[in-house]
Amino acid sequence: MEVLLLFVLVIGLMLVGTPIAVALGFSSVMFLLVFSESTLASVAQTLFEAFEGHSTLLAIPFFILASSFMSTGGVAARIIRFSIALVGHLRGGLAIAGVLACMIFAALSGSSPATVVAIGSIVIAAMRQVGYTKEFAAGVIANAGTLGILIPPSIVMVVYAAAVEVSVGRMFLAGVIPGLLAGTMLMIGIYIMARIKDMPAGEFKGFREILNSFREAAWGLMLIVIIMVGIYGIPGVTGAIFTPTEAAAVASIYAFLVATFVYRDMGPLKEGRSLLKNPHTLITALWHKDTVNTLRDAGKLIITLMFVIANALLLKHVITDEQIPQQITETMLAYGFGPIMFLIIVNVILLIGGQFMEPSGLLVIVAPLVFPIAIELGIDPIHLGIIMVVNMEIGMITPPVGLNLFVTAGVANMSMMGVVRAALPFLGIMFIFLILVTYVPSISTFLPNTLMGPEIIAK
């Protein structure tokens, strides 16, 4: 009963406009003071331990920083050029290229709104130019942009791994096949629509353009290679080289070097100055205005996101202490609910929650609640993680208030309803995808189990 009160308080406070972090923290503190023996000092300690006790979360700031360096410059434009060179000549090619570009950018950025902003602002304009409707363009981008949290490296997956203590490496691997599958399904859907409605096709610019655009984009694409090879090593050649946290830090440094010294979209060499004539910039770039601004902007994102997560961990502390999951499990088993019913309930909770809340924050609250139940019911923890991520993806594009719908409406200067209608056909595809992922566990677990050995589940 008290527990119900706790959740009503959290949701009520959020709805009246309390910062999510405070709504979570305030409710937890109140609950602990009223219903338990805990002191405020122990609450403060728990808050600090969000950092001290969860070194997995340390990967988040570095992934955000790497993606900030990558989004400052023309990386998005270069990826789009490469995508168009590859698939632009198909019927509906520009839309398909948009999806491909979102998939690639998702691997660089790890955030869905960021993907929509970076790719959408360029692709929507380009699609309008060759005769697509604005609605169609916006619908494509709103949907493809959600891949940001599914295709590794993904910040949401790091949060899940930290919240329920599974391996980040496994989660990333588990996201690869679903990510590619979702992207491919979207592309096929667009191709069929384009065939029926006879949408424009670009012309094939030849293999030279593919090669050239690849060479341009390669510096950005290398980031994915660094992270993946760093975390997993090269099978048969070397084992893992970095921890995920280190991989993210190395990726940040790499992204900084590429943005400053190779692409020169930012920093001291921006106006075409030569590095040879200005060798001192190798050092001064570290505190150049652009570098500091990027650090500051990434810092803002990290602060707001991590403050939510730290407070959500307070709530998790309450949930675990009160043995709430165990109570729910007992009730569910008493009513004869099996794994399938349970997964449907999880789907519904996340679809609704995903509309209102930032995915990482939602995950940190829901994961500790449903994880013990899932283990009890024999659901694979990695599989559960992927289901949750896909659910939140769809929550972001589900009317009336999905986050990606808002972002797309903002970017495209369209009404919310316009984007909702535009995104609807693709939402259908994503739903089919969700059902596939939910009820075919091997889509998620095949890769991690093959490459890293079967998961050992400790109950």
Partner 1 sequence: MATQSQPSGSDRLEESIIALLLGVMTLMTFANVVARYVFNSNIFYALELTVFLFAWLVLLGASYAVKKTLHLGVDAVVNAVKPTVKKPLGLFVVAVCLIYALLLLKGSWDYWAPYANLPPTSGRWFPTGFVEKYRGQGWYETQDIPVPFFLTWLETVFNEGEAYEKMPKVVPYLVMPLSMGLLVYRFIQAGMRVWRGEQDMLIVSHEAEDDVAQAAQRLKAEEQGQK
Which residues in 273-332 contact partner 1 (CB under 8 A)? 286, 292, 295-296, 298-308, 310
Q: Which stretch binds partner 1 (CB under 8 A): 49-57, 78-86, 199-207, 334-342?
A: 49-57
| End-to-end alpha carbon distance in the chain | 27
Answer whether 260's CB lies under 8 Å from 267's CB.
yes
Which is nearer to partner 1, 147 or 437 (by Cβ)?
147
Q: Using CB under 8 A, pick the residue from 8, 125, 192, 340 that binds partner 1.
A: 125
Which is nearer to partner 1, 72 or 438 (by Cβ)?
72
Instruction: State the number of binding residues for partner 1 (CB under 8 A).
Output: 79
Which is nearest to 20 in space by CA: 406, 365, 388?
Answer: 365
* Distance in Å, CB of 169 to partner 1, minimum: 16
List of residues 6+ apart from 400 with CB closer than 8 A:
355, 416, 420
* Distance in Å, CB of 418 to partner 1, minimum: 14
Which is nearer to partner 1, 93 or 148 (by Cβ)?
148
User: How many residues belong to the chain?
Assistant: 459
CA separation for the pair 355, 404 (Å, rounded): 9
Under the binding rule (CB under 8 A), the answer on residue 153 touching partner 1 is: no
Tally of CB atoms within 10 A around 264: 18
Answer whether 316's CB lies under 8 Å from 365's CB.
yes
Name the one residue in this structure whose structure tokens are 């909770």. 349
* Distance in Å, CB of 13 to partner 1, minimum: 6
Site for partner 1 in 359-378 (CB under 8 A): 361
Under the binding rule (CB under 8 A), the answer on residue 150 touching partner 1 is: no
CA separation for the pair 124, 136 (Å, rounded): 9
Transcribe 182-248 into DSSP letters. Answer: HHHHHHHHHHHHHHHHT--B-----HHHHHHHHHHHHHHHHHHHHHHHHHH--TTT----S-HHHHH
Which is nearer to partner 1, 26 or 204 (by Cβ)?
26
Under the binding rule (CB under 8 A), the answer on residue 403 touching partner 1 is: yes
Q: Which stretch binds partner 1 (CB under 8 A): 185-193, 317-325, 353-361, 436-444?
A: 353-361
Which is nearer to partner 1, 18 or 320 (by Cβ)?
18
Under the binding rule (CB under 8 A), the answer on residue 16 touching partner 1 is: yes
Under the binding rule (CB under 8 A), the answer on residue 240 touching partner 1 is: no
Site for partner 1 in 50-109 (CB under 8 A): 51-52, 55, 57-58, 61-62, 65
> What torsion, rounded to 10 degrees, do the Cα atoms 142, 145, 150, 151 define?
150
Which is nearer to partner 1, 389 or 403 (by Cβ)?
403
